[in-house]
């Protein structure tokens, strides 16, 4: 089991969405905050990303990939001088937020920017710390010879969206799932060498990744710090210091967090009885499991399951969007 795959799996809800869009300059759109993660890939032309907060603008050129994992508001425009129109996202696409406003449609001869955009439905109520620690903007500039597998995947996804063929309904979501993993893999590979702490360094550290893999592969095992350290090839004290420094919490603290996160997913997605879920995440009794779960989530496992299912039956599911540079317009499965 690898940590990145597990982190995505435990947060994923619903299906990802994407689409191709052409923008004719001048154009500028400001998107509202929304839970989830969105991506933008420039296929032709260029544009500017105005990140959330006080971060400086980022120029995006052909081949540039940007992931916005936090769901905060941002803007895209052909130029820093172009005015921004506040937009809302509907089932039919993008609409101006103000009734008397209109979206810029460009002028004859204006530069065309073609973008591949999309978003992922994620449960942001309990984000994995690996994803929570990502910067507001994950920018992967296009560079010759860098991340060829990611570039090939982008070509495949673009081809599926440009010309729908037999199997596109199955191929597109699968390619989108893989795209998220490839973007994050590329980011962590680029930052691991320079990182001195945090998850980028943790994923590049063989001792910590060994321990994380053991925890993720068998959360029900009665792990001790000594055993995890032995599996990773270090003494108890040295291992505990190294793990805590890089991951941000002690080994058994992370173990408990992962057990409860796994239990929450099982409660949402399966009909397994509580005693079986308790066993799957390392608790010998349903009572001990319920006590630990309530301490972590603030409500009992049974009530947690009922609330999540009631939300789905009331139509409070993860939102969808049209993929037309609409940003991370997603609802959290909180």
* CATH number, domain with residue 114: 2.60.120.280
pLDDT of residue 109: 74
Instruction: Judge if 33 and 61 occupy the same domain.
Output: yes
**How far apart are the two ends of the chain, measured CA to CA in Å?**
26
Instruction: Judge if 183 and 213 occupy the same domain.
Output: no
Is the per-residue pLDDT at 229 higher than 60?
Answer: yes
Q: Which of 290, 334, 297 is nearest to 316 (CA)?
A: 334
Instruction: Judge if 62 and 123 occupy the same domain.
Output: yes
What count of other Cβ atoms lies within 10 Å of the Cβ of residue 319? 19
| Residue 259 domain flag | yes
Instruction: Judge if 123 and 233 occupy the same domain.
Output: no
Residue that is last in its domain, among 161, 192, 223: 192
Q: Which of 190, 87, 193 is nearest to 147 (CA)?
A: 190
* Both structure tokens of 168: 């596109």
Is the per-residue pLDDT at 294 higher than 80?
Answer: yes
Q: How many domains is the chain built from?
A: 2
Angle between helical axes of 236-247 and 225-232 (0-180°, round to 10): 90
The Cα 8–Cα 327 span in angstroms is 19
Residues near 45 by beta carbon (within 8 Å), at least 6 away in sequence: 23, 62, 78, 111, 112, 113, 114
Q: Which of 131, 115, 140, 121 is nearest to 37 (CA)?
A: 121
* CATH number, domain with residue 288: 1.10.10.60
Instruction: Judge if 86 and 216 occupy the same domain.
Output: no
Instruction: Judge if 175 and 209 occupy the same domain.
Output: no
Q: Which residue has the higher pLDDT, 103 or 44?
A: 44
Q: Which residue has the higher pLDDT, 58 or 95?
A: 58
Tell how far CA 224 is from the center of its chain: 30
Instruction: Judge if 209 and 188 occupy the same domain.
Output: no
Instruction: Judge if 279 and 179 occupy the same domain.
Output: no
Instruction: Judge if 32 and 178 occupy the same domain.
Output: yes
| Residue 306 domain flag | no
| Residue 315 domain flag | no
- Give pTM, 2 decimals: 0.82
Is the per-residue pLDDT at 243 higher than 80?
Answer: yes
User: What pLDDT, in 10s, does the model give residues 164-217?
Assistant: 889 988 999 899 999 999 999 999 888 876 666 788 888 889 999 999 999 999
Average pLDDT over residues 246-275: 94
| Residue 319 domain flag | no
Instruction: Judge if 183 and 244 occupy the same domain.
Output: no
pLDDT of residue 334: 30
pLDDT of residue 41: 95
Phi, psi of 329 (to 5 degrees): -85, 80
What count of other Cβ atoms lies within 10 Å of the Cβ of residue 227? 15
Phi, psi of 121 (to 5 degrees): -85, 115
- Identify the domain containing residue 260 by its residue range: 205-298
Q: How many residues does the chain have?
A: 334
Phi, psi of 288 (to 5 degrees): -65, -40
Residue that is last in its domain, among 124, 158, 192: 192
Instruction: Specify whether the CB–CB gap between 304 and 123 falls below 8 A.
Output: no
Residue that is last in its domain, among 166, 192, 218: 192
Instruction: Judge if 238 and 156 occupy the same domain.
Output: no
| Residue 329 domain flag | no
Rg (CA), the chain: 22
Instruction: Specify whether the CB–CB gap between 29 and 117 falls below 8 A.
Output: no
| Residue 321 domain flag | no
Instruction: Judge if 46 and 162 occupy the same domain.
Output: yes
């Amino acid at each position: 089991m690898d940590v990145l795959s597990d982190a995505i799996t435990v947060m994923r809800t619903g299906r990802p969405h994407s689409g191709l869009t052409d923008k004719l300059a001048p154009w500028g759109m400001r998107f509202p905050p929304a839970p989830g993660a969105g991506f933008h890939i420039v296929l032709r032309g260029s544009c500017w990303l105005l990140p959330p907060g006080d971060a400086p603008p980022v120029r995006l050129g052909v081949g540039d990939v940007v992931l916005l994992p936090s769901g905060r508001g941002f803007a895209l425009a052909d130029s820093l001088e172009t005015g921004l129109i506040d937009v809302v996202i509907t089932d039919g696409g993008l609409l101006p937020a103000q009734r008397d406003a209109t979206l810029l449609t460009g002028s004859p001869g204006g530069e065309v920017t073609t973008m591949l955009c999309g978003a992922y439905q994620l449960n942001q109520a309990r984000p994995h710390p690996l994803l929570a620690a990502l910067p507001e903007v994950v920018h992967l500039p296009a560079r010759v010879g860098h991340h060829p597998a990611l570039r090939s995947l982008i070509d495949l996804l673009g081809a599926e969206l440009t010309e729908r063929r037999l199997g596109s309904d199955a191929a597109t979501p699968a390619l989108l799932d893989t795209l998220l993993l490839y973007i994050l893999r590329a980011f962590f590979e680029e930052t691991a060498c320079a990182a001195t702490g945090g998850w980028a360094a943790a994923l590049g550290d063989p001792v910590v990744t060994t321990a994380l893999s053991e925890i993720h592969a068998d959360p029900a095992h009665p792990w001790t710090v000594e055993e995890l350290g032995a599996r990773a090839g270090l003494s108890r004290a040295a291992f505990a210091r190294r793990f805590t420094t890089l991951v941000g919490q002690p080994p058994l603290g992370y173990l408990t967090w992962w057990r409860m996160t796994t239990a929450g997913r099982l409660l949402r997605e399966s009909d397994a009885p509580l005693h079986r879920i308790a066993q799957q995440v390392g608790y010998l009794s349903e009572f001990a499991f319920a006590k630990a779960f309530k301490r972590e989530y603030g409500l009992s496992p049974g009530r947690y399951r009922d609330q999540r299912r009631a939300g789905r039956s009331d139509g409070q599911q993860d939102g969808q969007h049209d993929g037309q540079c609409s940003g991370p317009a997603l609802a959290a499965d909180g």
